[in-house]
Amino acid sequence: MKALFIHDHPFIKNNKTGKLYTSGNLNSELWNRYLKHFSSITVIGRCKSEDDTSRYHLAEKENVTFKLFYDVKGGSDYFKKRNKIEIKLKEEISKHDIVILRFPATISIFAAQYCIKNKIPYVAEVVGCSWDCTWNYGGLGTKIIAPYSYFQMKKAVKNAIASIYVTNFFLQKRYPSNAEIKAYASNVILKEVDETALTKRLNKIEHNSKVFHVGIIGNIAVKYKGYDVLLEAVNKLPSEIRSKIKISFVGGGNPDYLKDLIKINNLGDQAQILGKYKAGKEIFNFLDTLDLYIHPSRQEGLPRVVIEAMSRACPVLASSVAGTPELIHENFIHKPGDSLKLLNDIKFLIENKSELNQMAKDNFANSKEYLFEKLEARRELFFKQVTKIIEE
């Protein structure tokens, strides 16, 4: 049985070797999730080329074929080149036994529309909210298409033969499905939790130095990540607290937007942009240096990096967007854009070691619910049910 996987994900082609890489989680290891149930996978997505791919993970794997768009940059490109996209979609859909559509994604929307019209069964993987993604992504152009994107995704998920969500509740409520087969499992890949992480964290809290190290991870060029909210909150802290804080930004992308924000908030001496770190050990080592991880994003599904921070027993403050409140206590959640609540939360934690200790214990314990073994068991059952339907 052959599967077709469709998403807007931009893979990266190495200019020298021609090999394909990813900055996200669609790496060579992830395809095992599908190859357990299907003989081969064809992946439709986008692609860009770079010379240095050392910070990325290999995307290629045996029995996985890539059919990528090299000239679809995103935004209006999807609609300008829709005819070309649809020709490839129709051609590939006809060759496969099952179609797996990951949302939100414009190419997945086009595929769903074709499948619904021609009564072709497909699976929906819901990893985020289309409305939040398009409304918070950028300027007027993306806001104009937000209603279209939202309602088309809603229709697509509703008509899938099976739907799997990364959240426990949030995305299910916003994008309900009529499918008999439904499941939930985060996309985080947390193979194990280091039992020494909690002890090390509690010791770090107890012997904290004069510097309070705050960190955030994400594409530094993306405006919806809430960097402005974090910097504004720190800027408005009382001077005696603000002077203790050091902020580190980790992530790829053009740094100009973030540099401007740092300058506007007069935090040039306290904020540093570290660039992209490789997933796994590099990210975990960075998280271990922090006293507090902050995730003020305006758009998410279920943020993997928050779960990763929790697995290192790191205290976390985050916005209430999407499924994030499923992860941490409501006391440490702020509404997207609410820099005043974030400011007060930072101030409270700096002044209360006992609360930091409790957060570390709670986060560490909760992270174990997202171990790969537990999530993979749910996914395996889900796809076993899908293949049974197809075979019948």
* pTM for this entry: 0.81
At residue 248 the predicted structure's pLDDT band, cuts being 50, 70 and 90, is very high
Lowest mean pLDDT among 132-136, 159-163, 384-388: 132-136
Domain with 312, as residue range(s), is 196-367
118 pLDDT above the threshold of 70: yes
Task: Provide the number of structural domains found in the chain.
Answer: 2
* The two three-digit tokens of residue 32, written as one number: 């095992």
258 pLDDT above the threshold of 60: yes
Across all residues in the chain, what is the average pLDDT?
93
Q: What percent of the chain has pLDDT over 90?
A: 78
pLDDT digits (tens, 9 = 90+) for 51-70: 999 889 999 999 999 999 99
Q: 231 and 357 share a domain? A: yes
How many CA atoms are closer than 13 Å to the CA of 201, on its beta-carbon side? Answer: 33
85 pLDDT above the threshold of 60: yes
DSSP of 161-210, one letter per residue? SEEEESSSSHHHHHS----SEEEE----------THHHHHHHHHHHT--S
At residue 390 the predicted structure's pLDDT band, cuts being 50, 70 and 90, is confident
Q: 273 and 219 share a domain? A: yes
Q: 71 and 182 share a domain? A: yes
Q: 263 and 275 share a domain? A: yes
Q: 266 and 164 share a domain? A: no
> By CB neighbour count within 10 A (0-12 exposed, 13-18 middle, 19+ buried), where does 170 fall?
buried
Q: Which residues of 229-253 are buried (b: 16+ CB within 10 A; e: fewer)?
A: bbbbbbbebeeeebebbbbbbbbeb
At residue 142 the predicted structure's pLDDT band, cuts being 50, 70 and 90, is low
Mean pLDDT across 246-271: 95
35 pLDDT above the threshold of 70: yes
CATH number at residue 181: 3.40.50.2000
Q: 338 and 317 share a domain? A: yes
138 pLDDT above the threshold of 60: no
What pLDDT sits at residue 178?
A: 96
What pLDDT sits at residue 140?
A: 59
